[in-house]
A and B are shown apart, each in its own frame.
Chain A
């Protein structure tokens, strides 16, 4: 019984939130890593691309809600995804045409591309705030919980409750589907293979007749899909605010770099590593240990490694450690 309580408390406050957060980070990091692998620069505008895509999804959701459309227990925002992805893809293709293509033609060094993406980030930042404003927006509807803490306690008779929000379940399911589809695309389709070839060796790919502009365009479209899905899931689960999406850039990049930039599998693992470290290191383990240990050994203090103030610092520290000791990341990506 005690052990069960410990597991439930741990699930409620660490496992469930960290898995949901990790999935959101993984989807974001996949976008960053794809751009790094194929276009060969770190896209600083990714956080704001997520904000832009989510904003479009919110606007479509509001429109759908005003028309009386709903998905029953699921959030209406899922219906708005395809339209939001299409608009965001157009935006990314537009910025590529306007900004990045120029530097690509010049064979600019990656750091110039990074600074260019920084400029794109600032512009998107402003555009999103102009359209939807800097404040909080809530757009989640439908059933809020798969199971509430109270129901769980009643069902099981345990002291601890386990709450799973619909958005948390949805995040995990969507992430699994999206990742499976992405890997199938990269490994099994002709276009996917040509993208990987382009990523491995640009010159050889060109010699074997791969059209670089087509590869680039497809990459942007996939990135738009990933960014919008990651952004909408994050917004549904937490809340949408342009500034928090800008701040997401740090954990997203940390995830991509920990896993190895340019390596999709690494991005996913990195996402979960960052999420679990952020939540786990700032969690006070008193309750869980109290259930597991005999009474005489139960801790008096909070057993908290870091105060929750340092949540963002965790991604920073992991980033620094990885760059110092294993610059290519866990999965042998490209060195930054």
Chain B
């Protein structure tokens, strides 16, 4: 089942002489449960691609269909709600809400939807993430690895159709990076979670289903296990 369908996506920043073409005619699609990695040099357009797919930035041209829904045909408010329910984000700098505990951070997307969380499911997720004992802790009381695990929990809690991870191990040491990758892999394999991950670390692409390379704004499908 096709979850992601990107068609001729282009993004241009600035005007006139200051114009920068960050992304040019990028097209690809992803099936449900697929784990794809996007690699490329700094400034090649990886983050722009991820931002456009996640609806964080509006492309200059092209379309993004998530679960058959053209996300840029939605109003700003509807797109935000769509994102809240259907896309999970994991950032390099974690971006946890400092004022919320581990548990509150994980259920944050549900709280934004004014939903009452299913606490059994939350506890199960905390156990999977190895954070149950620390569920009342604040982010400032956690290590970097633990913080990223909280971010993964926050991305998983709504069972989104797609998780977008922007260098999720970029701020972590190798042991913590391994833990995070194991968790993402588990989510992909065990829960059929579709994941698109940006990484610089070539070692992390060995286990993913597919690798996409961005060079000067141009996307190339490098293939992978499923290719």
Whether A associates with B in a native complex is: no
Chain A positions within 8 Å of B, measured between CB atoms, are: none
Residues of B within 8 A of A (CB): none
